[in-house]
A and B are shown apart, each in its own frame.
Chain A
Amino acid sequence: MKYSVKELSLPISKQRWKHIWNGFLSDKLAVLSLMIFIFYCVVALAAPLIAPFDPYDPQFMDLMNSEIAPYWISGDERFLLGTDAQGRDLLSTILYGTRLSLSIGLLAVVIQASLGICIGLTAGYVGGRLDNFFMRCADIQLSFSTMMIAIVFLAIFQTLFGSEYYQQLAMIMIILVIGLAEWPLFARTIRASVLAEKQKEYVDAARIMGIGPMRIMFKHILPNTMSPLLVIFTIQIANAIVAEAALSFLGLGMPISEPSLGSLISIGFSYIFSGAWWICIIPSATLILLILVMNLLGDWLRDHLNPKIYKD
């Protein structure tokens, strides 16, 4: 006997998402945050197209233009947000910096998520000693803070490679360190959901049908653990961006020639005493708004999808 797909698939999950989406639209703060976040993403993607200058091109670095105040103070129409100490247009550097910060955050969290999902699924589904071992590792890893691990490891890499060579590798190193340090959060959450899902009949049914454990884990159980993942994903991207900014601020992250928001703030900080506040304040505001919006979105998702997130 054959059923068409339409008859078989129950529309419950679709309806649920529609319900959530309607709830979302009625929350003004959430909609506003989503719009700002989309604006950030678009601007970051289109940075090479809309930026008035190319900050990576030394041709546009003219020391005669350095430390010009923003347009509304200096009246200089070429540079809307002023210039930094090397004469780069601040608007362009911020656009490119946002692009860098966002992509570092996203990639780092993709690493965290894939590692965490694989470990969490395996630990939860297989159980026993493997589960014990992974969860002990997660305990130990969580007892060290990510920032501490990242600072120590990046500092070590920097001394090992020499700062010149390190600057070329900086982006990959940051993504790897932040990505590898935060997997336990994903793993624990997934594991907890897997333990609950494993008891349900559909898993037994799938097993009796002779479906392999890999397929059961990834095709059957994983889709049912998605809503907590979504929440962690949003919040973790914000955290990763903050971590990257802090590392860059310490000089362990992106180099001055290719600044992310954190390194821009760090450059600006050295000029804050000389009165050139805009080099520091404008990137800071950009960063804070981005993080705030992501946190608000994460909070909203947490309140409305109502998942359990296991940190401890």
Chain B
Amino acid sequence: MLIFLLRRLFQACVVMAVISIISFIIQDSLGDPVRQMVGQSVSPAKIEEIRQVQGFNDSKFDQYSRYVTGVLKGDFGTSYFYKEPALDVILKKLPATFELAFSAILIIVLVSIPCGIFAAIRPKNILARFLMFSSTIGLSVPIFIVGIFLLYTFSIELQWTPSFGRGDTTLVLGVWETGFLSLDGLSHLILPSLSLAIALLPMFVRLIRSEMLEVLHSEYVKYAWAKGLSPARIYFVHAFKNTMLPIITIGGIQVGTLVAYTILTETIFQWPGMGSLFLDAVNRVDSPLISAYLMVVGAIFVISNTLVDLIYGYINPTVRLASHGL
């Protein structure tokens, strides 16, 4: 287990290093930081002096190592647009995106597991067939069209829900702005989280169904039937446990898709989260903010992937064998 853990951590470090190099290149090649500092009316000699003092003429390697030490101390540079430390700007937007993703995951878990299991237990049932058919259609509808459709029907035509923004937020523990605690915040949350969930649901329903079908045909389930265990125990304890193994891995991979989808959802519903912040930063060529976003999202990726692998290793002991790991 220890070797597995170490290997996994090593891989995480390599990936983070690659991301940091990319972020550094962005920071380095987009815009001229000296120009940002001094403005237009400064002599070339003076600019050269500032470049020398600030270390912009050092070798790229020195600059990179300085960047990494800064990042490790939590210094990602100052956003050109907000005139604040880039990390603070991003962390201020983090709760919005996190709550959006969290509610979407909640909906996915609550809907896909029962649906998937049902479709596997009763494959011939009319409801199960309907589920599978609608999941095929669902797979074919891109997320932004789901969002537009929901927005058009429920906000514009029916006017049930607000169409943009986060609504009222309350400050919890002094740092976390939450929309969960007010009715207005929740009503703003419904559509964005629903469209995120709908976009990912079909895949999970199909996945759970096919895994469950495979498990139900395996020998140990037949043995459980032969032992005379109750159907509920077989389905939900014996079969379900093994169904979840591949789901966990795929769920971990989907974290990346989820982040990408939040960018799309946040654009459609003008949700003030990290995704729309990133697109704004791209349009404003705010390179410290762009690279800080990359580092934060990269870290989220790597941490979640490592966690998923560790959980997987914990549940499935064969992975822990050193030959099988990494």
Interface segment, one of A71-79, A143-151, A203-211: A143-151
With A140-B15, A291-B142, A295-B139 as given contacts, are A155 and B282 in contact (CB-CB < 8 Å)? yes
With A143-B253, A144-B301 as given contacts, are A159 and B285 in contact (CB-CB < 8 Å)? yes
Interface residue A172 (Cβ < 8 Å from any Cβ of B): no
Interface residue A136 (Cβ < 8 Å from any Cβ of B): yes
Interface residue A46 (Cβ < 8 Å from any Cβ of B): no
Interface segment, one of B66-74, B110-118, B144-152, B185-193: B144-152
The answer, among B15, B259, B285, B305, for a CB contact under 8 Å with A148, is B259
Is A250 touching B264 in the complex (CB atoms < 8 A)? yes
A134 to B245, CA, bound (A): 25
Inter-chain contacts of B305 with A (CB < 8 A): 143
1/0 per residue, CB under 8 A from B, across A292-307: the answer is 1001100100000000
The answer, among A136, A151, A292, A295, for a CB contact under 8 Å with B263, is A151
User: Chain A interface mostly helix, strand, loop or mixed?
Assistant: helix
Interface residue B316 (Cβ < 8 Å from any Cβ of A): no
Contact residues on A (Cβ < 8 Å of other chain), bracket: 35 or more
With A152-B294, A249-B144, A291-B142 as given contacts, are A296 and B136 in contact (CB-CB < 8 Å)? yes
Interface segment, one of A5-13, A15-23, A226-234, A265-273: A265-273
Is B256 touching A144 in the complex (CB atoms < 8 A)? yes
Interface residue A122 (Cβ < 8 Å from any Cβ of B): no
Interface residue B140 (Cβ < 8 Å from any Cβ of A): yes
The answer, among A140, A238, A284, for a CB contact under 8 Å with B11, is A140
Interface residue A310 (Cβ < 8 Å from any Cβ of B): no
1/0 per residue, CB under 8 A from B, across A141-184: the answer is 01111011001100110111000000000000000000000000
With A155-B279, A277-B152 as given contacts, are A295 and B136 in contact (CB-CB < 8 Å)? yes
Is A269 touching B268 in the complex (CB atoms < 8 A)? yes
Inter-chain contacts of A147 with B (CB < 8 A): 256-257, 260-261
Interface residue A113 (Cβ < 8 Å from any Cβ of B): no
A145 to B256, CA, bound (A): 5
Q: How far is the CB of A142 from chain B (nearest CB, A)?
A: 6
With A155-B290, A250-B264 as given contacts, are A292 and B142 in contact (CB-CB < 8 Å)? no
Is B140 touching A145 in the complex (CB atoms < 8 A)? no
Q: How far is the CB of A171 from chain B (nearest CB, A)?
A: 19
A158 to B283, CA, bound (A): 9
Q: How far is the CB of B26 from chain A (nearest CB, A)?
A: 6
Question: Which residue of B has the minimal Cβ distance to A136?
Answer: B326
Inter-chain contacts of A145 with B (CB < 8 A): 253-254, 256-257, 259-260
A291 to B264, CA, bound (A): 19
Q: How far is the CB of A137 from chain B (nearest CB, A)?
A: 11
A155 to B268, CA, bound (A): 18
The answer, among A155, A246, A284, A288, for a CB contact under 8 Å with B264, is A246
Interface residue B156 (Cβ < 8 Å from any Cβ of A): yes
Interface residue A104 (Cβ < 8 Å from any Cβ of B): no
Is B267 touching A250 in the complex (CB atoms < 8 A)? yes
Is B264 touching A312 in the complex (CB atoms < 8 A)? no
Question: Which residue of B has the minimal Cβ distance to A235?
Answer: B139
Inter-chain contacts of A280 with B (CB < 8 A): 148, 152
Is B145 touching A273 in the complex (CB atoms < 8 A)? no
Q: How far is the CB of A243 from chain B (nearest CB, A)?
A: 9
Is B29 touching A160 in the complex (CB atoms < 8 A)? yes
With A140-B11, A143-B305, A147-B260 as given contacts, are A160 and B145 in contact (CB-CB < 8 Å)? no
The answer, among B15, B151, B250, for a CB contact under 8 Å with A312, is B250
Interface residue B137 (Cβ < 8 Å from any Cβ of A): yes
Chain B residues within 8 Å of A, Cβ to Cβ:
11, 15, 26, 29-30, 136-137, 139-145, 148-149, 151-152, 156, 246, 249-250, 252-254, 256-257, 259-261, 263-264, 267-268, 278-279, 282, 285, 287, 290, 294, 297, 301, 305, 326
Those 3 A-B pairs whose CB atoms lie nearest each other, nearest first: A145-B256, A147-B260, A292-B140
- 10 more A-B residue pairs beyond the given contacts A148-B256, A250-B264, A312-B246, with a C-beta to C-beta distance below 8 A: A143-B305, A145-B257, A148-B259, A159-B26, A160-B29, A245-B142, A251-B279, A265-B145, A272-B148, A287-B142
Chain A residues within 8 Å of B, Cβ to Cβ:
136, 140, 142-145, 147-148, 151-152, 155-156, 158-160, 238, 242, 245-246, 249-251, 265, 269, 272-273, 277, 280, 284, 287-288, 291-292, 295-296, 299, 312
